[in-house]
Amino acid sequence: MPAFIRGSTGPQNNFKRLADALVAARYRNCSIATYPIPVHKTQDNGSTARSWSDTFDVKGMERTSSVPIISPQLFHEHCNGKAAFSICTARKQLNFKNITDKLQSDIGLSFVIDNDTNKGGFGCDTFLNATCVITIDTVLPKASRSLQKTVGIFFNRAAYIQDIATNITNTMCKGKPYIAFHWRNRTGERCDIWYTNKNRSLCDFKLLTLQNSSKQLVKVIKNYMNKEKLLCMYIAFPPFTKRILDIIGDNIPNYFTKQDIINLVPDIAKYKDDNYVISLVEQEIAIRAAKFIGCRGSAWTNQVVKGRTQIRKKSVMINSLPGVPRDVIRIN
């Protein structure tokens, strides 16, 4: 019974971890216990974790994966509070007290390590032999590759997310086809959030270069829209990348952002300060778009691409568009 345990990254990467854990559970013919999904630490103003039902169509997930989904409480009860640990991570040293303390704080349950099963170590293959196992960064065996193509590819979002997205796409752009664009400005993210004073000396030059190059990028996107006969855009972006809106507004006047849809559709207004929900809705909007332009290497973009692939819609990355300045690709 593999249980999904979160890492230290945001929700999009944990969706990938969850998919891998489901494949592992199917491979072992096990059930999987739900585990709280962390929100992105830079964006959320509310709770620090969300349930699977807040995020996914859990019943649909069970049908698609053929993996029974159970509660942590049932997992704990079945295993008598004892579990093996399967650790597939580059980190050589892990403090197990920190892990068990985190389990206690996240799901309110105490676990002890199954030393009999873990006597040979805590490697990736532990989950192949343990009855009760908690996986950290599951690495899947080669024999499970066929399952990886059918289990855990993409999980439909919860019904309320889909309903909100339907109301938005029926209203936005007058209900006509649109393009969705995901802009992940990594330079802006680093300069606004992560860089220390020592590193910030690089920011002014990089941000100015990126801003100038972004003007050409928007022209490239406008040409692509003209080619595809699309007159309306939805742009999804993190809070620290708002500068591009001025550039888009000068070239593509018919565009929408999360602020516009909050004003447009009453159903989403109550989530205006909940960036976790807003992000899920924006991904659903991007999945339904006639065309989607994403950022290579972004976990957010990757989730949209998976969702579009499932319904046979193609996606393009910024770097693949002809005429995109090298600085956008290099710096961003």
For residue 47, what pLDDT is reported? 60
For residue 178, what pLDDT is reported? 98
Query: How would you classify residue 66: left for phi > 0, otherwise alpha for psi between -120 and 50, otherwise beta?
Result: left
Q: Does domain 159-331 have CATH number 3.55.10.10?
A: no
**Taking a C-beta distance cutoff of 8 angstroms, is the pair 230, 290 a contact?**
yes
The strand ranges marked E within the chain are 2-4, 32-33, 37-38, 49-50, 69-70, 82-87, 112-113, 133-136, 179-182, 233-236, 255-256, 291-294, 316-317
Alpha carbon distances (Å) from 32 to 3, 186, 258, 276, 306? 5, 34, 34, 23, 22
For residue 83, what pLDDT is reported? 84
For residue 166, what pLDDT is reported? 96
- Centre a 10 Å sphere on the Cβ of residue 9 and count the other Cβ atoms it contains: 14
**Taking a C-beta distance cutoff of 8 angstroms, is the pair 195, 308 a contact?**
no
Identity of the amino acid at 197: N
Q: pLDDT in tens for each of the 332 residues of the chain?
A: 555 555 556 788 888 888 888 888 888 888 999 888 888 766 545 567 889 999 999 999 998 889 999 999 999 999 898 887 776 655 545 566 777 787 888 888 888 877 766 655 556 666 667 788 887 776 677 777 778 777 766 789 999 999 999 999 999 999 999 999 998 765 555 565 555 555 656 665 565 566 667 788 889 999 999 999 999 999 998 765 666 777 788 889 899 999 999 998 988 989 988 889 999 999 999 999 999 999 888 889 999 999 999 899 999 998 899 988 776 655 45
Q: How many residues does the chain have?
A: 332
What's the CA gap between 71 and 79, in Å, rounded?
Answer: 12
**Taking a C-beta distance cutoff of 8 angstroms, is the pair 89, 137 a contact?**
yes
For residue 133, what pLDDT is reported? 83
Domain boundaries, the chain: 2-148, 159-331
Residue with token string 């494949």: 23
For residue 216, what pLDDT is reported? 83
For residue 253, what pLDDT is reported? 87
For residue 180, what pLDDT is reported? 98
Give exposure, 283-311, as e/b (b: 16+ Cβ within 10 Å): bbbbbbbebbbbbeebbbbbbbbbbbeee
Helix axes of 11-28 and 299-310: crossing angle, nearest 10 degrees: 50
